[in-house]
Amino acid sequence: MDKRIAFITGATSGIGEGCARKFAAGGYNLILTGRRENRLQALARELENKTEAAVLTLCFDVRDREEAVAAVGSLPPAWKEIDVLVNNAGLALGLEAEYEGDQDDWETMIDTNIKGLLTMTRLIVPGMVERNRGHVINIGSVAGDAAYAGGGVYCATKSAVKTLTDGLRIDLAPTSVRVTNVKPGLVQTNFSNVRFHGDDERAETVYRGIQPLTGDDIADVVFYAASAPAHVQIAEVLVLATHQASGSVIFRQ
């Protein structure tokens, strides 16, 4: 396969969907994963109609290690040499005080944001090391820099993403494989709808009074990191809306 291949998890919405469109337009072939088969197929058809990208879809949940192993193992030989892994699949659930939180929500966040990321890294990075080329781009968060009220567990998972990204970069220093942590601030996707278990009205208040980032904004940064010269490693990027100063400081008009 002549084109480079980007493997993007959580590609059915938000940042992952933005990354899929950006990498397809940028000359990559794509392996897109997600839990919603219909959304994956619709996106694949759209990208193949609008760009010259070939798109392969894998429908599975990164929380399920057996599903992930089977999905990656099913890749045809021409698709196994992955150049860019975008570990995007992630979520927040709930905004209760830590001592009142829902333990099922905690487990879902930990299993997706930490263990799912580790599973995909373990499955794909050895091939990059063997070929001595590749790039892992993890989608972290400004929330990984400091905790905020009601977000302790989510913030902890994104702090873990930062630490795991840094650790992987250290482990890969003898190789030519690059590692990047992109840390978005306020991005208007379905993130808040998921956090509030489908309460659209409550989710909308998160973005009231400020122009938030979009999934496409973050995709631009991800693609920029992947497009840097081979000797340049964009280790970490914090991306905030103009009127956001940190995870907890937002000026609303």
Active site residues: 154
- Between the CA of residue 186 and those of 74, 200, 201, what are the distances in Å? 36, 16, 17
User: Given phi > 0 = left and psi -120 to 50 = alpha, else beta, which region is 129?
Assistant: alpha
Short-list 34, 69, 28, CA closest to 47: 28
CA distance 105 to 124: 27
For 55, the enclosing helix (H) or strand (E) is strand 55-59
AA identity, residue 29: N
| C-alpha torsion sign, points 134, 155, 58, 225 | negative
Short-list 76, 47, 247, 54, CA closest to 146: 247
CA distance 124 to 152: 30
Short-list 119, 206, 110, 210, CA closest to 158: 110
Short-list 63, 64, 74, 84, CA closest to 4: 84
135-139 and 84-87 strand pairing: parallel
